[in-house]
Amino acid sequence: MTKSSKTTNESRRDFLKITAVGGLAASAPMIFMKSAHAYLNEPKGATVTLGFNVPQTGAYADEGADELRAYKLAVKHLNGEGDGGLLNTMKPLSLKGSGILGKKVQYVTGDTQTKSDAARASAKRMIEKDGAVMITGGSSSGVAIAVQSLCQEAGVIFMAGLTHSNDTTGKDKRKHGFRHFFNTEMSGAALAPILEKEFGKDRVAYHLTADYTWGWSQEGSIKKYTEALGWKTQSAVRTPLGAGDFSQYITPVLNSGADVLVLNHYGKDMVNSLTQAVQFGLRDKQVNGKDFQIVVPLFSRLMAQGAGENIKGIFGSTNWNWSLKDAGSQAFVKSFGAEYGFPPSQAAHTCYVQTLLYANACEMAGTFNPCGVIAALEGFKFDGMGNGPTEYRAEDHQCFKDVLVVRGNENPSSQFDLLEVVDITPRAKVEYPPSMLGGDLGSCNA
Amino acid sequence: MDAFLLQILNGLDKGGAYALIALGLTLVFGTLGVVNFAHGALFMLGAFVAVSVQNLLTISKKVKDESITFFDAYKETPYLEIWWGDTGTALIDYAVPISIVIAIPVMLLIGLAVERGLVRHFYKREHADQILVTFGLAIVLQEIIKANYGANPIPVGAPDIVAGSANIGALFGIEGLVYPWWRMIYLLFSAVIIAGVFAFLHLTTFGMVVRAGMHDRETVGLLGINIERRFTIVFGLATIVIGLAGVMYTPILPPDYHMGMDFLVLSFVVVVVGGMGSLPGAVAAGFLLGILQSFFSMNEVKSILPGIDQIIIYLIAVIILLVRPRGLMGKD
């Protein structure tokens, strides 16, 4: 009985041992395999492929072309060619000018067409067919949010291009997505003190707002900060994207009692609505005993050219401007100017910086594994990139830095001198709690 | 009251633009039987005639900004201003009116080239073939413009004397009621062009032959009249009309390479609502849809029916086609 029991116990013990050893033996190659193929599109050869997803057709094609120029310049500098650009000024720097982790950088491009479905399709193609380990670019928040979500599902990093909606790093933020560009909350916080100084506390605002995520976000932020000043919001009217003729939306402003028109429009819509608002005589009007004013909260020098003379004297905010005199901005303008013969746009700047930040994070992490890259980027503090001391906040993957308040230049010294920097709002004044804009980063998907 | 008046003006102004664009489209369909999807691109080409004239007039002496060392930046002064002072400045200021004169022969040549080189080969083909080939032409034309002028809108101003707004409130005893001079000029211009086209078709022998050809091409041909040649001229005429509409629209909407496509769908809706091939129908539908679009964009209406401004034109098109399948003035 005892013997029998002992035999049984020994058998069970033996079985457990065999199972454990067998399990370990069976799982060992799997652990190895997992390590060898831990993430999608792990670079195997001597090169690493990045995916540049920019608008090459449609209304933002010129901005997309400028983004692509910046990406090509970044690749050149990463591979040790050219004058090195911001690699000469970025601090701290792990890059050595020999590619990324010793692999030569190559790239593929996609056309977002500034349409979410087209942008997702081109990003998918670059990930699945071209083996891109990182996707970056874009000129629209709708596109950025759509592609960011795709990259999270696919398990690759997304370094956003020009996207200004709070939602990108707010309610729609993702663990795999990072934004260097500022957002509407920061625009509102930076603009409000200047608007108060220039136009006073007793104003009545009328908003015309592009009817999509970015427009809603900007309207909300500007209302929040101007109402805190004491301004009243007379109306906030949504306009269809690409409306062309805005006359039916502008005429109600004329006798509404409002003395400020806030144009929450970007690109072609901004050019058209501003041109038409000026034609309707809004800038010549006096309302409530004050000069009527127009505000364009998000300015783009590249797009401002389309508005011609109408842009003069109008206040807005911008992420970066080529006229800045810090070492980083000068280094970038010098590289870009020498390469292409004209200054870079803010879209080009943010795209260039994003590429370097991604590459630097890979070097810091010692891997292209997205989980390692995410960990390296989260909380990363850097300087010398044109915006002063900057931090990629870990909680929402939003870069925090100084914000520029600009005004359309009344006396431009050249064809590129369209915006005049009137104030550099320090980071501390545009910072907000990470939980304020909602959303959930989720976890690394690699 | 003032809001009501302003929306009537907006509607008439929009309607004038829609009618002008749809007029050329209808003229081509009514005479040649061709569904011309390149019509919007011809509108865009007209606008770029104005851009080109402005560029020519503002060829400038460039003085390098020496404070910029990383690239070449210039302060530009147009040669016309240097040579002729105020006269030169005035010439530049009048770029759009000058463009109107230049656009007439330019657009006529473009129209004849398109008709002789491409469209005439598709007279007897299916509408689907015509749509494909003219749509392809539109894409080629807009890509040529994009390659030469970029994708961003290019500002072209109205002459200073009519760049601001007129105090129309004085006419009605309403204080502060203003409307842009150029938009009123555009409305007047639309009316003159539309009246001119109708007069041409109804008061001249040429027009009578064309109208006869629209009804019965074969019989007119049997009478020994070369109707094909007249139809070629009609295509040229339609191209001039749409080109001039484009030139005149530049101070309202800074032109870009894609503006033709933006108007294409809208102009077809106007033509279909008016009745395919009906010139009075196209004009009536243009004004009707322009006015309705303006009124349904009023805050008072949008607060009851949010988003109605974005669909009203298509909604009206659906209703009219359900009630009158051949459009407002289409013939059975």
Q: What is the mean pLDDT of chain A?
A: 91
Average pLDDT over residues A318-334: 96
Are A262 and A208 contacting, i.e. CB atoms less than 8 angstroms apart? Answer: yes
Distances in Å between the Cα of A322 and the Cα atoms of A85, A349, B70, B88 are 14, 9, 11, 33
Q: Please report residues of A whose CB lies closer than 8 A to that of B254.
A: 271-272, 275, 306-308
At residue A29, does pLDDT exceed 60?
Answer: no
Mutation test of the interface with chain B: which of A268, A284, A310, choosing the one with the most B Cβ atoms within 10 A?
A268
Residue contact A59–B178, C-beta within 8 A: no
Q: Among A245-249, A330-334, A368-372, B242-246, which is the least confidently predicted range? A: A245-249
What DSSP line would sit under A425-439, residue for residue? Answer: E-HHHH---TTTT--
Are A41 and A156 contacting, i.e. CB atoms less than 8 angstroms apart? Answer: yes
pLDDT tens figures, A383-400: 999 999 999 999 999 999
Across A16-122, where does the E strand assignment appear? 47-54, 104-111
Q: Kindly list the domain boundaries of chain A, sorted by start residue.
A: 47-182+322-401, 185-317
At residue A445, does pLDDT exceed 60?
Answer: yes
Is the fold of A47-182+322-401 the same as that of A185-317? yes
Place of tokens 């390479």: B257
3 state DSSP class of B227? helix
Q: Please report residues of B whose CB lies closer than 8 A to that of A343.
A: 70-71, 73
Phi and psi dihedrals of B77, rounded to 5? -125, 120
Judged by a CB distance cut-off of 8 A, whether residue B39 touches chain A is: no
Q: Please report residues of A whose CB lies closer than 8 A to that of B292.
A: none
The pLDDT score that the predictor gives to residue A2 is 38
Judged by a CB distance cut-off of 8 A, whether residue A386 touches chain B is: no
Judged by a CB distance cut-off of 8 A, whether residue A212 touches chain B is: no
Residues of chain B with pLDDT under 70: 1, 331-332
A63, exposed or middle or buried, with CB in 10 Å at 0-12, 13-18, 19+? buried
pLDDT band at A18, cuts 50/70/90? low
At residue A356, does pLDDT exceed 70?
Answer: yes
How far is A356 from chain B, CA to nearest CA, in Å?
22
Judged by a CB distance cut-off of 8 A, whether residue A343 touches chain B is: yes
CATH tag for A185-317 (out of 3.40.50.2300, 3.40.50.300, 1.20.1260.10, 3.30.420.10): 3.40.50.2300
Between CA A76 and CA A78 the distance in angstroms is 6
3 state DSSP class of B254? coil
ipTM confidence: 0.87
pLDDT band at A146, cuts 50/70/90? very high
Residue contact A61–B2, C-beta within 8 A: no
Between CA B188 and CA B170 the distance in angstroms is 20
How would you label B286-314 residue by residue, b for 16+ Cβ within 10 Å and e otherwise?
bbbbbbbbbbbbbeeebeeeeebbbebbe
Q: Please report residues of A whose CB lies closer than 8 A to that of B155.
A: 271, 275, 305-310
- Both tokens of B171, joined, read 């006419």
Mutation test of the interface with chain A: which of B60, B266, B297, B305, choosing the one with the most A Cβ atoms within 10 A?
B297
Residue contact A416–B73, C-beta within 8 A: yes
Place of tokens 């395919």: B276
The pLDDT score that the predictor gives to residue A208 is 96
The pLDDT score that the predictor gives to residue A5 is 44
Q: Please report residues of B whose CB lies closer than 8 A to that of A111.
A: none
Phi and psi dihedrals of A267, rounded to 5? 65, -135
Residue contact B71–A337, C-beta within 8 A: yes
Place of tokens 């874009």: A138
User: How many beta-carbon contacts under 8 Å exist across A and B?
Assistant: 143
Mutation test of the interface with chain B: which of A208, A209, A255, choosing the one with the most B Cβ atoms within 10 A?
A255
How far is A331 from chain B, CA to nearest CA, in Å?
10
Phi and psi dihedrals of A48, rounded to 5? -130, 140
pLDDT band at A13, cuts 50/70/90? low
Q: How many CB atoms lie within 10 A of CB A355?
A: 28
3-state secondary structure chain A: CHHHHHHHHHHHHHHHHHHHHHHHHHHHHHHHHHHHCCCCCCCCCCEEEEEEEECCCCCCHHHHHHHHHHHHHHHHHHCCCCCCHHHHCCECCCCCCCCECCEEEEEEEEECCCCHHHHHHHHHHHHHCCCCCEEEECCCHHHHHHHHHHHHHHCCEEEECCCCCHHHHCCCCCCCEEECCCCHHHHHHHHHHHHHHHHCCCCEEEEEEECCHHHHHHHHHHHHHHHHHCCEEEEEEEECCCCCCCHHHHHHHHCCCCCEEEEECCCHHHHHHHHHHHHCCHHHCEECCEECEEEEEECCHHHHHHHHHHHCCCEEEECCCCCCCCHHHHHHHHHHHHHHCCCCCHHHHHHHHHHHHHHHHHHHHCCCCHHHHHHHHCCCEEECCCCCCEEECCCCCEEECCEEEEEECCCCCCCCCCEEEEEEECHHHHCCCCCCCCCCCCCCCC
Q: Closest to A338 (Cβ–Cβ): which among B70, B157, B253?
A: B70
pLDDT tens figures, B241-276: 999 999 999 999 999 999 998 888 888 899 999 998
pLDDT tens figures, B34-81: 889 999 999 999 999 999 999 999 999 999 888 888 888 888 999 999
Strands A260-264 and A232-239: unpaired
pTM of the full predicted structure?
0.87
Are B206 and B200 contacting, i.e. CB atoms less than 8 angstroms apart? Answer: yes
Q: How many CB atoms lie within 10 A of CB B257?
A: 27
Yes or no: is domain A47-182+322-401 CATH 3.40.50.150?
no
Between CA A358 and CA A159 the distance in angstroms is 8
At residue A32, does pLDDT exceed 50?
Answer: no
Alpha-carbon torsion, ordered B157, B159, B163, B167, to 10 deg: -160
Place of tokens 């090509």: A72
Residue contact B71–A284, C-beta within 8 A: no
pLDDT tens figures, A94-116: 999 999 999 999 999 999 999 99
Phi-psi region of B25 (alpha: psi -120 to 50; beta: other; left: phi over 0): alpha
A62: nearest CA partner in chain B: B151
Q: Please report residues of B whose CB lies closer than 8 A to that of A338.
A: 70-71
Residue contact B252–A276, C-beta within 8 A: yes
Interface of A with B in 414-433 (CB under 8 A): 414-417
pLDDT band at A376, cuts 50/70/90? very high
The pLDDT score that the predictor gives to residue B196 is 93
At residue A4, does pLDDT exceed 50?
Answer: no
